[in-house]
Structure 1
Amino acid sequence: MNLQAPTPVLRIFDEALARAFYVDFLGFSVDWEHRFGDNFPLYMQVSQGACSLHLTGHHGDCCPGASLRIATPQLDALHQRLVGADYKHAKPGIELKPWGSREMTVTDPFGNRLTFVEGTDA
C-alpha cells in the first residue's frame, strides 16, 4: 500500500474573504474552481509548493474550526512576508515550543487555524 499526503478540506462562508486570506495574504494560488451550477457554492483548490488545500462553501462537506500543521523550512521568510502584507485581521508571530519546533499560527476568517511549523520534523 502506498498512501499519499492528505488534502485537507476547509469550510468557507464567503468567497471574497477566502480569496483575500488564502491568495492575497498567504500567497496560495488558485488551481481550479468548481460549481454545480449558477448560484451554487464554490469548491476550489489552492496550493503553494507541495501544500494543497480544498476550500468549500458546501454545508455538508466539513465543519469550520479545523486545525492544520503545515511544515516549512522557511518559517522566517514566510513570517516576514505575512508581516509585510499588513493584513488587518492577522499579525502573526513565531513561537518557540517546548518540544523544539518554531511555530506561527494564523486563523482564517472562518475559524480554521493554520500552524506553520519549522523543526523537529514538523
Structure 2
Amino acid sequence: MIIPILRIFDYEKAKEFYLDFLGLQLDWTHQFEDNMPLYVQVSSEGDVLHLSEHHGDASPGSSIRIQKKSLKQYQKKLLEKNYPHMKPGIEETPWGTLEVTVVDPFSNRIIFYEDKK
C-alpha cells in the first residue's frame, strides 16, 4: 500500500478540511510530547493519508490523485456541506476521466477521479 504524506501547518484547519469537509475519519495522531508537531492518519474507504506538521516530511503544494467511486455523488455531498473556502466542480478530461479537484489550506491539491464508463 502506498500512503502519501501531505504537509500541514495547523491541525485545527486540517481537521476542518479533511474530516469535516472531505469526510475522512481520524485514525490516530502521534506527538512526541506537548508542543511538538503532530503526525496524523486519516482514511476513508481504504484510502489512507498521512498529514504531518514536521518540517521536512513533505513539501507544501503537493498533488495526489485518488480514485473514487460515485464521484458525482461525492461532489454533491461536498457542495452540500457549504464549506466556505471551496466549491469544487466536476471536470471531464480528454483522457477519459471525471475529476474533482480540491486544495487544502496548505496548498496541497487532491484530485479525486473516476474513469468514464
Shorter-normalised TM range: over 0.9
> In the alignment, what sits opposite 1:72?
68
- Give RMSD over aligned pairs: 1.2
Offset of residue 96 of structure 1 = 0.3
- SS class of match (1:19): helix
TM-score by length of 1: 0.93
- SS class of match (2:102): strand
Paired amino acid for 2:51: L
Matched residues in 2 for 1:53 and 1:99: separation?
A: 26
1:84 has 2:80 as partner: yes
Structure 2 gap segments, 5+ residues each: none
Matched residues in 2 for 1:65 and 1:86: separation?
A: 24
> Percentage identity across aligned positions?
51
> In the alignment, what sits opposite 1:113?
109
Matched residues in 1 for 2:109 and 2:59: separation?
A: 13
Question: Match for 2:14 among 11, 18, 27?
Answer: 18
TM-score by length of 2: 0.97
- SS class of match (1:111): coil
Paired amino acid for 1:43: Y
Query: When the two structures are aligned, how many residues end up with a matched partner?
Result: 117
Structure 1 gap segments, 5+ residues each: none
> In the alignment, what sits opposite 2:5?
9
1:42 has 2:23 as partner: no
Question: Match for 2:92 among 89, 96, 107?
Answer: 96
After the TM superposition, list the runs of 4 or more consecutive aligned residues in structure 1 that deviate by more than 3 angstroms.
Answer: none
Offset of residue 99 of structure 1 = 1.1
Matched residues in 1 for 2:56 and 2:111: separation?
A: 25
- SS class of match (2:15): helix
**How is 1:57-68 mapped onto 2 (pairs within 5 angstroms)?**
57-68=53-64
